[in-house]
Amino acid sequence: MNTSKKISISKLSVIGAGQIGPDILLHFAKTFAKQNIQLILVDVAEAALQNAQKKIEKKIAKGVEAGAFKPEMADAMKKIIKYTLNYPDITGSELVIEAATEDENIKDKIFRSVESLTDEKCIYLSNSSHMQPEVIFRNIKNKSRCLVAHYFFPAEINPVVELVPGKDTNPALLTNLLSFYEAIGKVPIKVKSSYGYAIDPIFEGICQIATICFEKGWGTEKEIDAAAVKALGLGVGPFTALNLTGGNPITAHGLDEMNKQLMPWFKTPKSLHEKTQKKEAWNTAQRGEKVELSAEKEEKLVKEFRGGFFALATYILDIGIVDINDLNMACEMSLVIKAPFTFMNKLGINVSYDLVKAFCTTHPSFPFPKVLDKAKTEGGWKIKDIVTAKREDVLLITIRRPKVLNALNLDVLGQIKAAMEEVKNDNSIKSVVITGFGTKAFVSGADINMLASLKTPEEGINNSKNFQTVVDYVENYSKPVVCAMNGFAFGGGNELAMACTARICKKGLPVLVCQPEVNLGFIPGAGGTQRLPRIVGVEKAAEILRTGRSVSAKEAAEIGLVYKEAEGNLVDEAVKLAKQIASGEVKAKTVPKEPISKNGDPKQVEIGHLSKKIDEILVKAIYEGSRMSLKEGLDLESRMFGECMKTQDMKIGLENFKTNGPKAKANFIHK
């Protein structure tokens, strides 16, 4: 049985074996294979079920081939799935997800059947891409357990799920489903009931813009696709996306409905209707085919796409159905596109404002979004990568950057500091818990692009000191700060954790902590060379830091790096510990501020292929730092981090990481 917060699942059913139902089921099979949860895929057509089974088993086989999971895992995944034409087989399900045709009468008929076969506790989700829950569930007696869960293509891989409650949905259910989806590796966002929800009007609006440009003769389908990719950072162009997803019919229908329900600008272009009726694909570039555009044509199309994209994103914000941070993040991840509000800030709010103004002028049926005026006045969009909440007298801070596994940069650290400053003098808040979003990583490290942009020793020293300033603030905060390590903490993530009053982690993690900097040709710069020796001892810390090896949750608890491994809900346990420390019931072991060692020469450590030059710098930081006060040691660390900038090995290490990934060994030259 799977339990996440207050949702327990022993049997789950998906209805609809067409385009997306099998992919939704496949994700649950990956998640629940080891827990022996029963999964049902039901459809009224034998051929659809057979095709679904072939599709699922083919994807499972590819997963084994790629090393994503072992053959025994594949067998377990296949074993828990039942394919059936018999609707009563869903009886006993705690969760039913409908993924049938986008037709309100079909969906209504399905859920009325489901209601007759399931009990009052069963949760009903519809994977509609457009329809409001009030329409889909209009004839269900108990509407409090009904809402839309809109997945994106391909559903087993794409992390985003829009959760759309109806007016009668129980708010507690929505809260629990947000936790449930996070626990199974998805990135859920909350969207108010509105036709098309938050993301599809943007995607389908981009498709509409592409089609209008095509009809105006501004370029071929291939050229327009290429310009859209360049303009918006798309993974594939809009015409290619429509071909891949079989999206012509649903987009054509969606645009016509949005014309009635959202605003007159939305309208299915003639050529999209024709492609739908003739069941034709768009003429797009083949894999590897290079498409050249004239500079004049490219400039015109890029301006149109950016103006339209920004107009669409701000329109969705204007109608008030979604939080800006959710929309910014979900757009980027679901559509493989640049995060709209971050992108506008990067281009400059005045430039972005003018692009939207020009777009709305040439598209008079598109009203200029009011929120843009406010953003221009304020000098840009205020976007956060953290989520804050109050749990009784505890402030909970969640670092939420799922695309980069919660990697830290100075903006994120600044947001953490600002959130803590805000409640510093609030007597109703007694302590703080910091955790990460999702189940894989607390923090995957410092943002590599930020590190790669450093060029001089002075830039390196300043970067290290800027990180240390926020980390020091956490360490010296006037209230207890507990780090709830929900997954692995690499590099800067572990350095942030070590500055907290106490750390707890999920039990049984084979990899919890790693300071992998030496693999990339530099040393820790946010306190790692100073706090780790003070927590676990100089020799143990030196071995961990110099080899860049990982530490399991079990070892972390044994050497005192974490207070304990949590067997229950991690955040609940962290909140409990924070309250106990604040009340004095638990005495936390603090990091010593004074010198901790009079050690002489360091012990011999086998570092393999790693840079001897970087090791020399690291050894100096660890051992000399241990003979200093923490403050002096941190200053030494910053200077040593700057020394790394002078080496060729730092350039080699970072370039190898960016080109070949984290598992490839760099060919260091020890200079």
Domain identity same for 577 and 475 = yes
Which one, of 119, 174, 166, lies nearest residue 143 by Cα? 166
Q: Report how far residue 115's alpha carbon sits from residue 466's, in angstroms, rounded to the nearest whole number.
A: 57
Helix (H, G, I), strand (E, B) or coil at 314: helix
Domain identity same for 304 and 408 = no
CA 482 to chain centre: 23
Domain region containing 179: 2-190
Supply the pLDDT for residue 417.
97
Question: Domain for residue 634, yes or no?
Answer: yes
Per-residue model confidence as pLDDT tens digits over 410-464: 999 999 999 999 999 999 999 999 999 999 999 998 877 788 888 899 999 999 9
Q: ∠367-370-374 over CA atoms, to 5°?
A: 155
Supply the pLDDT for residue 599.
67
Helix (H, G, I), strand (E, B) or coil at 584: coil
CA 556 to chain centre: 26
Q: Report how far residue 28's alpha carbon sits from residue 308's, in angstroms, rounded to the nearest whole number.
A: 36
Domain identity same for 213 and 166 = no
Please say whether the dihedral angle defined by the alpha carbons of residues 124, 130, 132 and 136, taken in this order, is positive or negative: negative
Supply the pLDDT for residue 291.
93
Domain identity same for 365 and 250 = yes
Domain identity same for 536 and 433 = yes
Biggest alpha carbon–alpha carbon distance for the chain: 81
Paired strand residues for 146: 124
Phi, then psi, of 236 in degrees rounded to 5: -140, 155
Domain identity same for 619 and 533 = yes
Which one, of 413, 399, 421, 409, lies nearest residue 477 by Cα? 421
Domain identity same for 122 and 256 = no
CATH number of the domain that residue 456 is part of: 3.90.226.10
- Please give the tally of structural domains in the chain: 3
Domain identity same for 410 and 330 = no
Question: Domain for residue 556, yes or no?
Answer: yes
| DSSP-derived secondary structure for 441-497 | EEE--B-HHHHHT--SHHHHHHHHHHHHHHHHHHHT-SS-EEEEE-SEEETHHHHHH
Which of 134, 168, 190 is the endpoint of a domain?
A: 190
Question: Domain for residue 666, yes or no?
Answer: no
User: Alpha helices of 80-220 — where are they, by DSSP H?
Assistant: 104-117, 133-136, 171-183, 200-215
Which one, of 474, 417, 412, 475, lies nearest residue 445 by Cα? 412
Do 646 and 457 meet the contact criterion of CB atoms below 8 Å apart? yes
Q: Report how far residue 497's alpha carbon sits from residue 501's, in angstroms, rounded to the nearest whole number.
A: 9
Q: Which residues of the chain have pLDDT under 70?
A: 1-5, 599-600
Q: Report how far residue 309's alpha carbon sits from residue 300's, in angstroms, rounded to the nearest whole number.
A: 14
Question: Domain for residue 671, yes or no?
Answer: no
Which one, of 229, 212, 244, lies nearest residue 293 by Cα? 229
Please say whether the dihedral angle defined by the alpha carbons of residues 17, 21, 23 and 24, taken in this order, is positive or negative: negative
Domain identity same for 174 and 297 = no
Supply the pLDDT for residue 151.
97
Domain identity same for 100 and 162 = yes
Supply the pLDDT for residue 600.
66
Q: How many CB atoms lie within 10 A of CB 412?
A: 23
Question: Domain for residue 512, yes or no?
Answer: yes
Write down how long the chain is.
671
Which one, of 241, 230, 245, 15, lies nearest residue 110 by Cα? 15
Position 390, amino acid? K
Question: Domain for residue 576, yes or no?
Answer: yes
Domain identity same for 395 and 360 = no
Which of 190, 210, 239 is the endpoint of a domain?
A: 190
Q: Which residues are catalytic?
A: 495, 517
Q: Report how far residue 582's alpha carbon sits from residue 586's, in angstroms, rounded to the nearest whole number.
A: 8
Do 477 and 420 meet the contact criterion of CB atoms below 8 Å apart? yes
Supply the pLDDT for residue 1.
38
Q: Report how far residue 552's alpha carbon sits from residue 555's, in angstroms, rounded to the nearest whole number.
A: 5
Position 128, amino acid? S
Which one, of 266, 272, 526, 571, lies nearest residue 408 by Cα? 526
Helix (H, G, I), strand (E, B) or coil at 559: coil
Total-model pTM:
0.92
Question: Domain for residue 562, yes or no?
Answer: yes
CATH number of the domain that residue 259 is part of: 1.10.1040.50
End-to-end alpha carbon distance in the chain: 55
Domain identity same for 156 and 291 = no
Helix (H, G, I), strand (E, B) or coil at 624: helix
Question: Domain for residue 331, yes or no?
Answer: yes
Do 455 and 651 meet the contact criterion of CB atoms below 8 Å apart? no
Going by the DSSP 8-state scheme, the letter that residue 288 receives in this structure is: T
Which of 135, 158, 190 is the endpoint of a domain?
A: 190
Buried b (16+ CB within 10 A) or exposed e, 348-379: ebeebbebbeebbeebeebebbebbeebeeee
CATH number of the domain that residue 108 is part of: 3.40.50.720
Residue 13 neighbours by CB under 8 Å, 6+ apart: 39, 40, 41, 42, 89, 90, 93, 95, 96, 97
Do 437 and 402 meet the contact criterion of CB atoms below 8 Å apart? yes
